Structure 1
Amino acid sequence: MESPHGAAVTAESLGMRGPRGWVFRNVTFSAEPGALVAVEGASGSGRTCLLLALTGRMRTTEGRAETGGLRLPKQAAAVRAIAALGPVPMVSELDPAFTVAEHLGERALLQGRYGASLRSLLRPRA
């Protein structure tokens, strides 16, 4: 029998607080490799931020999480190497609530240019 593809994902009392308050809080679940998980909620409820946190692209402020046996946020770089979000309408598009700098920061994170200055983001990559 073939083993399932994917990575196990767990979260325990996971939460993220931003400058405007709690983005999400008290998220607890587990999913085995190959499981299909649906995250539902109203627009602005923190679904995208939760998925970005579980793929090592955003830092949570409370709780514990693991993706593929790697602890978040401590091993976020290793998680980014094995997990990503695919293009999803209304998720991977530009968010009108973000500033240009926030969008560029996210792009830098996705391209692996961590800690890059805004000026370096505007220059073409070699």
Structure 2
Amino acid sequence: MNLFVNLQDLDSMLFYWINTGTSNALFDAIMPLFRDKWFWAPLYLFIGTFAWSNFGKKGWIIVLGLVATVGFADFSSSSLVKKNVQRLRPCNDPVMVDSVRLRVSCGSGFSFTSSHAANHFAAAL
């Protein structure tokens, strides 16, 4: 259990350093765009169109496999890991809430694992 506490402390220190020590106006303006689900829609449309136009019926199988992989990653992250680990988001953590710089609204659920990261990692596979 001591290792887990040390990892949480390290995670909090790294988050605080990134959130406050490396912030700048350019990233403050750009990064919220990457968080928006519609920002990625053209990429997904391109992947589907590319697969269909270059591989025909096999392209649809590729897209279906991609959707299934991302769906499984999202389910695993959101329904299995987050519900069991129950790690608070830094913006909801009573210890950190006053020192966190928010550029977008804070989510209401738990933060570990990042479903956004899990989904995009699954798509990259």
For Structure 1 versus Structure 2, the TM-score category normalised by the shorter chain is under 0.3
Q: State the TM-score, normalized to the length of structure 2.
A: 0.25
Larger-Rg structure: 2
Q: Quick check: which one's strand share is greater?
A: 1
Structure with more relative contact order (C-alpha pairs < 8 Å, separation 6 or more): 2
